[in-house]
Structure 1
Amino acid sequence: MAVNIYDDINKLESTFRSTEEFEKLEAAVESVKADNEANELFKSFRDLQISLQQKQSQGEEISEEEMMSAQETAQAAQQNPKILAMLEAEMGLSQMIEEVNRVLIKPVQSLYESM
């Protein structure tokens, strides 16, 4: 009998959206979006991160000036209480996702450990 794991994954997604961790992040994102200054600051921070990651992945050199700008933008973002709350909520959610990944990978690990 074939198993359709996607039914379970879709159920897990629904459960995931109902967790306290997800709801905290959702509320924190809404709080940032409602504050024009915080929203613009976060967009600038995110765009800069993406730009630097693209450069790195393409093997391009990141200048000292770009690194300084990135650090200044990150510091400014983290000093904003709404952005900080959002980043902290995201970390809580990430921990839950990591735990789910650990549980999902256990069967594969046990296969290799049995060798």
Structure 2
Amino acid sequence: MSNIHDKAHGLEKAISESEEFQKLKSAFETVMKNPETKQMFDEFRDTQIRLQEKQMQGLEITEEEIETARKVVELVQRNQDISTLMEEEQKVNQLINDISRIITSPLEGLYGNSNNVN
């Protein structure tokens, strides 16, 4: 079992050293260096988390909350540093989704072929 864990740690290192992650890290550092941009980004993240928590709890999101979230999104999209950060985050998320698909393919193969087992 430790061999699999060693490979997982190797994958973690490869992700950390990847071009995608390094660009994300640089974009994040750029946002965090500017107090105004950092505050805007923090407000954006807080708004996202609040709305996600309400959804997970099955609570209704009000029109006022939707409008506030829309304004926050419009504001951060106008900030080039935050837009760049969001683009780089999306690329890393895509990389991780691709990796997840690859490492779960044995399960998909097993369960996907379950109809063929007699």
Amino acid of the residue matched to residue 49 of structure 2? I
Q: Output the CA distance in 1 between the equivalents of 2:100 and 2:39.
A: 33
Q: For residues 45-73 of structure 1, what are the alpha-carbon distances to aligned partners after superposition, in whole Å with 9 as ceiling and x for unaligned? A: 00011111111111211110110000100
**Partner residue, 1:46:** 45
Amino acid of the residue matched to residue 69 of structure 2? A
Q: Output the CA distance in 1 between the equivalents of 2:93 and 2:29.
A: 18
Q: Output the CA distance in 2 between the equivalents of 1:27 and 1:3.
A: 33
Q: Which runs of 5+ in 1 are unaligned?
A: none
**Partner residue, 1:19:** 18
Amino acid of the residue matched to residue 48 of structure 1? T
**Partner residue, 2:55:** 56
Q: Quote the sequence identity (%).
A: 38
**Partner residue, 1:37:** 36
Shift of 1:3: 5.3
Q: Output the CA distance in 1 between the equivalents of 2:111 and 2:65.
A: 44
Report how many aligned residue pairs link the two structures.
114
- Give the ranges of 4+ consecutive aligned residues of structure 1 lying more than 6 Å apart after TM superposition: none
TM-score by length of 2: 0.91
3-state SS of the aligned residue for 2:104?
Answer: helix
Q: For residues 6-55 of structure 1, what are the alpha-carbon distances to aligned partners after superposition, in whole Å with 9 as ceiling and x for unaligned? A: 11111111111100000000000000000111100000000011111111
**Partner residue, 1:82:** 81
Q: Output the CA distance in 2 between the equivalents of 1:3 and 1:29.
A: 33
Name whichever of 71-80 and 103-112 sits farther off: 103-112
Q: Which runs of 5+ in 2 are unaligned?
A: none
Q: Output the CA distance in 2 between the equivalents of 1:10 and 1:3.
A: 10
